[in-house]
Structure 1
Amino acid sequence: EWLQFRMVTVRRRLQHRLDKVLERLHILEGLLVAFLNIDEVIHIIRTEDAPKPVLMERFGISDRQAEAILDLKLRNLAKLEEMKIRGEQDELNEEREYLETTLGSMAKMKKLVAKELQEDADKYGDDRRSPLVERDAASALDETDLVSADPVTVVLSEKGWVRSAKGHEVDVVGLSYKAGDKYKASAQGKSNQPVCFIDSTGRSYSLPAHTLPSARGQGEPLSGRVSPPSGASFMAAVMGKEKDAYLMSTDAGYGFVVRYADLLANKKAGKTVLSVPKGAKVLPPKPIASTDDDLIALVSNEGRLLVFPVKELPEMARGKGNKMMSIPGARVADRVEFVQDMQVLGPQDALTIHAGKRHLTLKASDLEHYYGERGRRGAKLPRGFQNVDQMAVERKGE
């Protein structure tokens, strides 16, 4: 609207100047007549009582032109010079042509306004005193924006019942479970975060943590909130920030790195994240602290241990992943050979191997013996520790 106002203002200014130029040209034509007929003009002025109408009739000039001639003092009339009058006429005709052309073209009017604005900015402009700050686009409030960020522990049972307990200091195994049911998995986070559940087919589902039933009871079936495929069971629960990294894998020895944001699913039926080879089982996702420095340790049911860097795996949103440990597909399908357990550890962490009632702790220096390239078979653990039940990470400093 200001620019429209500016266009009107400039147009009025140019039109006003054009009117003045045309009026002056008109007068100059009359003065030129007076110059060319100076003696006769002086005679008429001296002898006639009303010289104006006589001048108008004699020379065919207008009232305004005759008035301009009569307004001239005698000494000025004597000084009239044809070259001076014609020179002013040429200048004014050039200006008239510019004004008429500009007024007749919207493009030239805009160009003139822009030029004048730039000149004013260069002459009078200074640094802005009130800063301009870019803000995110306005959006409707999300339900979670109004939820307090309290620490919670989401607990999943073997039968797929879910509940949420306040705080992180929760004895998840010692909670009350229904007859024939027991603890399966848990995840710690905030009440305003979503929690992701992974099922045995590699699908991911997500629910707002604050909508889950309280741990004071025994919870409710997760299948009432989401729609997993027939026969699928829930394997794990995960809570984190959108950019948090996790290791997704199957016991066929395949895996990849995924970001928590890619695990979120806004549909009741969830979404496929992990492709599961024939006969293989889904392993619980493992959090990755550093994709550059962390290590992956895999142990097979035959007692082979392989350790390699996380950075050798690709980061993907979904898929089968890359081969982490070399296990023939047929042996996995027949459940003859598979990954017994998998852990992610830091470069200085220790790894404890549990085999029955015995356990063996391998320090960072001891683990170097089991280092290898991704996709290798791994090295055999010492006798007596090859029948591994599970592994545990002993964090340095804990």
Structure 2
Amino acid sequence: MSDSIVIGADGVEQMPLKAYTEKAYLDYSMYVILDRALPNIADGLKPVQRRIVYAMSELGLKANAKYKKSARTVGDVIGKFHPHGDSAVYEAMVLMSQDFSYRYPLIDGQGNWGSPDDPKSFAAMRYTESKLTPYAEVLLSELGQGTVDWTPNFDGALDEPAMLPARVPNILLNGTTGIAVGMATDIPPHNLREVVSAAVRLLDEPKATVAELCEHIQGPDFPTDAELITAPEDIRKIYETGRGSLRMRALWQMEHDDIVITALPHQTSGSRVLEQIAQQMQAKKLPMVVDLRDESDHENPTRLVVVPRSNRVDCKALMKHLFATTDLERSYRVNMNMIGIDGRPQVKSLDKILGEWLEFRTTTTRRRLEYRLDKVLKRLHVLDALLIAFLNIDEVIAIIREEDKPKPVLMARFGITDVQAEAILELKLRHLAKLEEMKIRGEQEELAAERDSLEQTLGSTRRMKTLVRKELLAAAEEFGDDRRSPLVQREEAKAFAEEDILSADPVTVVLSEMGWIRSAKGHDIDPAALSYKSGDRFKMAAKGRSNQPLVLLDSTGRSYSVATHSLPSARGQGEPLTGRINPPSGVSFEGMLLGRDDQYFLLASDAGYGFITRLADLHSKNKAGKAALTLPKGAKVMAPVPVAAIEEHFVVVVTTEGRMLVFPAADLPIMPRGKGNKLVGIPSARVQSREEYMVAMVVMGQNDSIKVYSGKRHLGLKLSELEHYIGERGRRGHKLPRGFQKVDGIELVSAS
């Protein structure tokens, strides 16, 4: 960049705007990444959090101290270390104090610090008081022992720690979220005992894989009792790549036929969940729920009550729907991006995170021991001088009294160093007591033993590992607790389909000749007796349930679907069917079907071709319908016939020539659409000229019987009486008795 700077004629430095803006943006980006948004792997803290914790320790706000106003802490932080807005600092303080946001809070707050329902509802900093929690000691206890580097603060007046000497992997324990420039971080919280156990395993086995570490760390552990329902293999994949997503689901139980929700997913608002359920109730999408209550209090922080309409409601299915449509189940992004010990941001796998942290911890421990060893050696050096002075006290006093510059004389006389001579000169008279020699020798022995121990540990990798392991396990013993978020395998949540939500009331749908449709409650309706418009009359009816879609078949062989529950009441005269679907002009409707999706129907044209189909295959989301039955030339659609069962059932067909054919229903194909197979042999030329065609059909079982109508006469026949007409599908069939060769229709008389 400096190459692009030029000196103008007026002596002012000049540089291209492009170069200036590029440098400014890069500088800002690096600042946001390294000094604001991303945590450091060493202590798991962002700079603002680190400065808050350090400032509070400097104010003496340890766990055993009295609370102080939060405004005092915020003032110290922004005045000494963090030259930014007070609200940003205070919000960071609040987050570190909320036990529903942090798995292991660092700040112990007194006053209103927000609630799980509304984390932003905390009081102003002038009202709240705070101090550090006992857990904060794992970050601070070794701070003054030469463990970390110190850097000047923003104005160079003070020094602040570049990082805190954490005794546990806080980066995983409390997790963090942040958005930098071009990158973000989302690290979930974990359980202290599990993380320490995995760290110890990696300490003992440096080549341990992520799968082996997952034997100790089951998964993230959020500060809520809600269930973590992500599959173990997916969690392991997250730990291997550093990226992925997790799903949490609320806890619920039944109490006196009511559903009681006792734990919500991390950072989920109970009032928001109730609002989502209420919106569905208002939209009539939850008819099986009659009431909602929020019974949360101090004893039960989360207690949401959902009251079903009756004890016949399937509460498991209802909760699956709520999991799929509300915040009772939430997903969380995982992106384990952090600043490593090399000072570079990187998304890291679990083994890399723990491996780098152990490297930092080992270095910190070594620096602490070296710092202590230096102190011990200096003290032993001074004690040697004090012992010399004590043993030669009269001579020392004489030199001090008689010499103008006693220090060089002492150094020459007793062969001591400048530091030792200074220690002798600063010796207080009280230390010349008779017992002082014993104290000096006792302290020398203790310090010598400590020196030997420190030198042995520093000189042995195995001893160093043992010390790190021992201190990790001690921290886990002191601050560890049981897992809060249970890991559970659950079925995938599924929202109700529209027909599941609707009540399954019995209805009879009625269609008139002029195409007006309506729905009457119950199955005991006489459709022909209803009132019709002038010149209109009853055409057809279908019986079923209000939650089953109605299927119509037009004269071109197209099928259409209509929502039964939305049809107008039969108390009126209905509404035109063409207002709900868009059939081709001039068509008429020849069939109306209502039933279960898996119910079978026989579709046929009067040319003698047909097939069996499932009702579900006739449904159409398109208002223009879809092709179902293909018509041969000159043929017409026949009214569909229900098929109670295919095995051991027979198809009975009759033509206008009075020919009847009976054949097994199993001989027909099951198809979603098409022309079908030949039912009865009618020459196509006779169909086209309308000389002969199929006039009636029915499907009957072994014990059923049929009535054949011809004018005012009818003939009742059982299956055993139809042996003469049984033949192969596609044959011409045999003629009915004289007087019944002009058939008007066939009626099935069911044995049931």
Aligned to 1:211: 566
> Which of 121, 128, 138 is the equivalent residue of 2:494?
138
Counterpart amino acid of residue 529 in structure 2: G
Q: Please list the CA deviations of residues 55-83 of structure 1 after superposition, one character each: whole Å capped at 9, or x if unmatched.
A: xxxxxxxxxxxx79xx9xxxxxxxxxxxx
Find the aligned partners of 1:371 and 1:324 in 2 and give their Cα distance: 12
Q: Verify: 1:190 aligned to 2:545, yes or no.
A: yes
Find the aligned partners of 1:229 and 1:5 in 2 and give their Cα distance: 73
Greater relative CO, 1 or 2 (CA 8 Å, sep 6+):
1
Counterpart amino acid of residue 396 in structure 1: A
User: Are the aligned partners of 1:297 and 1:342 in contact in 2 as well (CA < 8 Å)?
Assistant: yes
Aligned to 1:34: none
Aligned to 1:10: 201
> Which of 378, 388, 391 is the equivalent residue of 2:733?
378
Find the aligned partners of 1:160 and 1:133 in 2 and give their Cα distance: 53
Cα shift at 1:230? 2.0
Aligned to 2:523: 168
Q: Verify: 1:329 aligned to 2:694, yes or no.
A: no
Counterpart amino acid of residue 581 in structure 2: V
Find the aligned partners of 1:317 and 1:6 in 2 and give their Cα distance: 60
Question: Which secondary structure does the structure 2 equivalent of 1:293 belong to?
Answer: coil
Find the aligned partners of 1:134 and 1:340 in 2 and give their Cα distance: 55
RMSD: 3.5
CA distance 1:354–1:226, change in 2 (3 Å) = same
> Which of 691, 711, 715 is the equivalent residue of 1:360?
715
Aligned to 1:287: 642
Q: Please list the CA deviations of residues 89-110 of structure 1 after superposition, one character each: whole Å capped at 9, or x if unmatched.
A: xxx99x9xxx9xxxxxxxxxxx
Find the aligned partners of 2:638 and 2:728 in 1 and give their Cα distance: 21
CA distance 1:150–1:337, change in 2 (3 Å) = same
CA distance 1:14–1:356, change in 2 (3 Å) = closer
Find the aligned partners of 1:241 and 1:272 in 2 and give their Cα distance: 21
Counterpart amino acid of residue 625 in structure 2: G
> Which of 226, 235, 239 is the equivalent residue of 2:594?
239
User: Are the aligned partners of 1:156 and 1:183 in contact in 2 as well (CA < 8 Å)?
Assistant: yes
**TM alignment of 1:223-372, pairs within 5 A:** 223-372=578-727
User: Are the aligned partners of 1:298 and 1:339 in contact in 2 as well (CA < 8 Å)?
Assistant: yes
Question: Which secondary structure does the structure 2 equivalent of 1:367 belong to?
Answer: helix
TM-score, with structure 2 as normaliser: 0.37
User: Are the aligned partners of 1:184 and 1:236 in contact in 2 as well (CA < 8 Å)?
Assistant: no
Aligned to 2:46: none
Cα shift at 1:222? 0.5
Cα shift at 1:279? 1.1
Find the aligned partners of 2:487 and 2:649 in 1 and give their Cα distance: 44
The percentage of counterpart residues that share the same residue type is 50
Aligned to 1:221: 576
Question: Which secondary structure does the structure 2 equivalent of 1:366 belong to?
Answer: helix
Counterpart amino acid of residue 676 in structure 2: G
CA distance 1:378–1:135, change in 2 (3 Å) = same
Counterpart amino acid of residue 717 in structure 2: L
Question: Which secondary structure does the structure 2 equivalent of 1:206 belong to?
Answer: strand
Counterpart amino acid of residue 135 in structure 1: E
User: Are the aligned partners of 1:157 and 1:183 in contact in 2 as well (CA < 8 Å)?
Assistant: yes
> Which of 178, 190, 208 is the equivalent residue of 2:533?
178
Cα shift at 1:348? 1.9
Counterpart amino acid of residue 203 in structure 2: R
Counterpart amino acid of residue 299 in structure 1: V
Aligned to 1:103: none
CA distance 1:358–1:211, change in 2 (3 Å) = same
Counterpart amino acid of residue 11 in structure 1: L
CA distance 1:145–1:290, change in 2 (3 Å) = closer
Find the aligned partners of 1:166 and 1:391 in 2 and give their Cα distance: 28
User: Are the aligned partners of 1:184 and 1:235 in contact in 2 as well (CA < 8 Å)?
Assistant: no
CA distance 1:11–1:233, change in 2 (3 Å) = same
Cα shift at 1:190? 1.1
Cα shift at 1:233? 1.0
Cα shift at 1:179? 2.3
Aligned to 1:79: none
Aligned to 2:37: none
User: Are the aligned partners of 1:352 and 1:392 in contact in 2 as well (CA < 8 Å)?
Assistant: yes
Find the aligned partners of 1:392 and 1:293 in 2 and give their Cα distance: 19
User: Are the aligned partners of 1:297 and 1:344 in contact in 2 as well (CA < 8 Å)?
Assistant: yes
User: Are the aligned partners of 1:251 and 1:282 in contact in 2 as well (CA < 8 Å)?
Assistant: yes
Find the aligned partners of 1:284 and 1:133 in 2 and give their Cα distance: 50
Q: Please list the CA deviations of residues 109-144 of structure 1 after superposition, one character each: whole Å capped at 9, or x if unmatched.
A: xxxxxxxxxxxxxxxxxxxxx9967534423x4444
CA distance 1:136–1:253, change in 2 (3 Å) = farther
**TM alignment of 1:8-87, pairs within 5 A:** 8-14=199-205
Q: Verify: 1:158 aligned to 2:525, yes or no.
A: no
Cα shift at 1:286? 1.0
Q: Please list the CA deviations of residues 275-307 of structure 1 after superposition, one character each: whole Å capped at 9, or x if unmatched.
A: 111111111111111111211100000000001
User: Are the aligned partners of 1:350 and 1:361 in contact in 2 as well (CA < 8 Å)?
Assistant: yes
Find the aligned partners of 1:137 and 1:357 in 2 and give their Cα distance: 59
Aligned to 2:111: none
Unmatched tracts of structure 1, length 5 or more: 20-66, 72-91, 100-129
Cα shift at 1:148? 1.9
Cα shift at 1:12? 3.1
Question: Which secondary structure does the structure 1 equivalent of 2:641 belong to?
Answer: strand
Aligned to 1:63: none
Find the aligned partners of 1:251 and 1:167 in 2 and give their Cα distance: 33
CA distance 1:14–1:134, change in 2 (3 Å) = closer
Question: Which secondary structure does the structure 2 equivalent of 1:231 belong to?
Answer: coil
CA distance 1:230–1:380, change in 2 (3 Å) = same
Find the aligned partners of 1:224 and 1:201 in 2 and give their Cα distance: 19
CA distance 1:4–1:326, change in 2 (3 Å) = farther
Question: Which secondary structure does the structure 2 equivalent of 1:216 belong to?
Answer: coil
CA distance 1:223–1:5, change in 2 (3 Å) = farther
CA distance 1:383–1:294, change in 2 (3 Å) = same
Cα shift at 1:6? 6.1
Q: Report the structure number with the largest CA radius of gyration.
A: 1
User: Are the aligned partners of 1:156 and 1:236 in contact in 2 as well (CA < 8 Å)?
Assistant: no
CA distance 1:8–1:151, change in 2 (3 Å) = same
Question: Which secondary structure does the structure 1 equivalent of 2:671 belong to?
Answer: coil
Find the aligned partners of 1:286 and 1:131 in 2 and give their Cα distance: 52
